[in-house]
A and B are shown apart, each in its own frame.
Chain A
Amino acid sequence: MLRYTTDHEWLRTEDDGTLTVGITDYAQEQLGDIVYVELPEVGREIAAGELLVVIESVKAVGEIKMPCAATVRAVNETLADQPELVNSDAAGSGWLARIEPADASALEALMDDKAYQDYLGSL
């Protein structure tokens, strides 16, 4: 199941119940050439709305907020050397972190693909 936030994050539910988080193609396009991704420590508990990842492009700093209270279970270490993966493959190899939500139903309030496309259309 794929869900989206109004901050242009995508969340995918994995078989083990964790969520993979990334940013959407729209978001990477807005940021421009990404040169640095600052990832959280694995094991950290982060409250909803708190900072999860910082993405720096040549010109801007993007802050990715935690969409729900969760614990960081893994981060995409590849981005340390290849932050441009977020530009070239935002929905795939440019994923940011894998998190375990405190409440498994956290995703239900978020947008599905159609709702997100409608949201993009409204911007």
Chain B
Amino acid sequence: MTSDATPESSQAMRSTPLHGLHEALGARFVPFAGYQMPVQYPAGIKQEHLHTRAQASLFDVSHMGQIAVRGPAAALEDLVPGDIAGLAVGQQRYSVLTNDAGGIIDDLMIARLPEHLFLVVNAAFKDDVRRHLEHGLGPACEVEMMDDRALIALQGPAAAAVLGAIEPALARLPFMAVSELEIDGSPCIVSRSGYTGEDGFEIALPAAAAERLARRLLDHREVAAAGLGARDSLRLEAGLCLSGTDIDAGTTPVAAGLSWVVARKYRDGVQAACFPGAARILDELHNGAPRVRVGLRLDGRVPLRGGSVLYDAGREVGVVTSGTFGPSVEHPVAMGYVERNSKTPGTQLSVSIRERTHVVVVAALPFVPHRYYRP
């Protein structure tokens, strides 16, 4: 038996503050963005996925970058299409860092805290983002890469009750709100957000406090550990992009179906946009992008994987960027880019997998409805 997963060198591989806990829980590790990360625990990816949608799962996402930006909040508007000046303290916004061609360097969360902006970026792009921020923000802002930190995601319908048992106010935190507070005497930044489509939280805290909190959460019988495997199938069912895979330096926010990250003040022309690639992105907002991101499903059980080329009546019209089997929907789920004439849900395309032709149907995203907490 051979597998197509190419093992990265284990040399200089970093581990997260929860590595020992993962080992104790029987995790299987894979290299991911320079880190040894748990891909699954003994329960397996499917079970971890289903448990997240049914109850709650704890994910270690400490490999992601945590960045503090100090200076005028509006300065970040030179680098992202979102409204940052108008972001209230205690609110968080999803955004993207764009390049001069309007492509996406990385997607990120931007939270406004009383004293500074708190950014969470993808592990694989930490260094790129740091350089881009330092260069783009200039001397008016200080960019601090926060090391020795952990990030724990608690995701699923039981998450609010579990975290609320530790800190009652957190159960009432609305989706995309952020709160700074002490848990067990450690300063935590808690946001009501996640990467699964479910209600949930992301808790950023000092590395030294991470295992204690993780164990406290896992002590609740509703909570089980889940790895990167389930995280990937959950986010795919939820129609959420993986940076570097579904969005990259060659895809614009409009092509990616993320037009909503462009602030209304730019769309309405109330304020001139100065983020990189603004001209192209605003043009695409009005005139459409040549190719756009869509959901894809396939009849039968063969999973569509990234890289497969999509055809419409023999003509190449797109490509699959990521795909897997969706345990909740019980069929393969994928996303990719197609020419805009082929983007309507229900459009039938074809794909060749190991020399067999399969019918692929363009599907609306998400595959599973989001269940965010919006009181």
A33-B45, A33-B46, A80-B301 given as contacts; is B1 within 8 A of A61 (CB)?
A: no
Could you tell me if A36 and B301 are in contact, using CB atoms closer than 8 angstroms?
yes
A89 on the B face (CB < 8 A): no
Complex Cα distance A53/B35, Å?
32
Residue on A nearest B5 in the bound complex, by CB: A60
Interface membership of B88, Cβ < 8 A: no
Cα distance, A22 to B274, chains bound together (Å): 60
Q: What residue in chain A is nearest B30 (Cβ atoms)?
A: A59
Minimum C-beta distance from B53 to chain A (A): 15
A40–B4 CA distance with the chains assembled, in angstroms: 20
Q: By the criterion CB–CB under 8 Å, are B302 and A38 in contact? A: yes
Flag if B301 contacts A58 (CB, 8 Å): no
- Do the beta carbons of B354 and A32 come within 8 Å of each other? no
A62 to chain B, nearest CB (A): 5
Fill in one digit per residue for B308-332: 1 if any A CB lies within 8 Å of its CB, else 0: 0000000000000000110100001
Q: Is the CB of A32 within 8 A of B40?
A: yes
* Inter-chain contact B354/A59, CB cutoff 8 Å: no
- A59/B39 contact (C-beta < 8 A), A32-B45, A33-B44 known: yes
The reply on A113 being an interface residue by CB < 8 A is no
Decide: B45 and A62 in contact? CB cutoff 8 A.
no
- How far apart sit A57 and B305, CA to CA, in the bound complex (Å)? 12
In the bound assembly, the distance between CA atoms of A8 and B39 in angstroms comes to 22
Query: Within 8 Å CB of B90, what residues of A?
Result: none
Given contacts A32-B229, A59-B39, contact A9 B45 (CB under 8 A): no
- Contact of A27 with B5 at beta-carbon distance under 8 Å, contacts A59-B39, A59-B324 already known: no
A32 vs B1: C-alpha distance when bound (angstroms): 13
Closest Cβ–Cβ distance, residue A75 to chain B (whole Å): 15
B303 within 8 A of A: yes
A28: shortest Cβ distance to chain B, in Å? 9
Interface pair B3/A54, CB less than 8 Å apart: no
Give, as a whole number of angstroms, the nearest-CB distance from A119 to chain B: 13
B233 at the A interface (CB under 8 A): yes
B2 at the interface (CB under 8 A from A): yes
Quick check: A58 and B1 within 8 Å, CB to CB?
no
Contact with A along B1-33 (1 / 0, CB 8 A): 111110000000000000000000000000000
In the complex, chain B residues whose CB is within 8 Å of the CB of A8:
1
Minimal Cβ-Cβ distance residue in A for B42:
A29
> A36 contacts B233, CB within 8 Å?
no
- Assess the A58–B302 pair: CB atoms within 8 A: no
Q: Which residue of B lies closest to A59 (CB)?
A: B229
Which A14-36 residues have a C-beta within 8 angstroms of B?
A: 23, 27, 30-33, 35-36
> What chain B residues lie within 8 Å of A59 (beta carbons)?
5, 39-40, 45, 229, 232, 324
- The answer to whether B1 touches A23, judged by C-beta atoms less than 8 angstroms apart, is yes
**Is there contact, CB below 8 Å, between A61 and B305?**
yes
A62, B302: Cβ atoms under 8 Å?
Answer: no
**How far in angstroms is the closest Cβ of chain B from A66?**
12
Partner of B303, one of A9, A32, A56, A64: A56
Give per-residue flags for B228-240: 1 if the beta carbon is below 8 A from chain A beta carbons, else 0.
Answer: 0100110000000
Inside 8 A of A35's CB, which chain B residues have their CB? Answer: 301, 303, 325, 332
- The docked-state distance in angstroms from the alpha carbon of A8 to that of B325 is 24
Residue of A nearest to B46 (CB): A33
Whether A63 is near chain B, meaning CB under 8 Å from some CB there, is: yes
Complex: chain B residue closest to A63, CB-CB: B2
A83 CA to B330 CA in the complex, in Å?
12
Q: Which 10 A-B pairs have the closest CB atoms?
A: A35-B325, A33-B46, A58-B45, A7-B1, A36-B301, A8-B1, A61-B4, A27-B1, A59-B229, A60-B3
Show the binding face of B for A, using Cβ within 8 Å. 1-5, 39-40, 44-47, 49, 229, 232-233, 301-303, 305, 324-325, 327, 332, 354
Besides A27-B1, A36-B302, A60-B5, 18 other A-B contacts (C-beta < 8 A)? A23-B1, A31-B3, A32-B229, A33-B44, A35-B303, A36-B301, A38-B302, A58-B45, A58-B46, A58-B233, A58-B325, A59-B324, A60-B4, A61-B4, A62-B1, A63-B1, A65-B2, A83-B301
Question: What are 16 residue pairs bridging A and B, where the CB atoms are less than 8 Å apart in the complex?
Answer: A8-B1, A36-B301, A36-B303, A38-B354, A55-B1, A57-B45, A58-B45, A58-B229, A58-B324, A58-B327, A59-B39, A59-B229, A60-B5, A62-B1, A62-B3, A63-B4
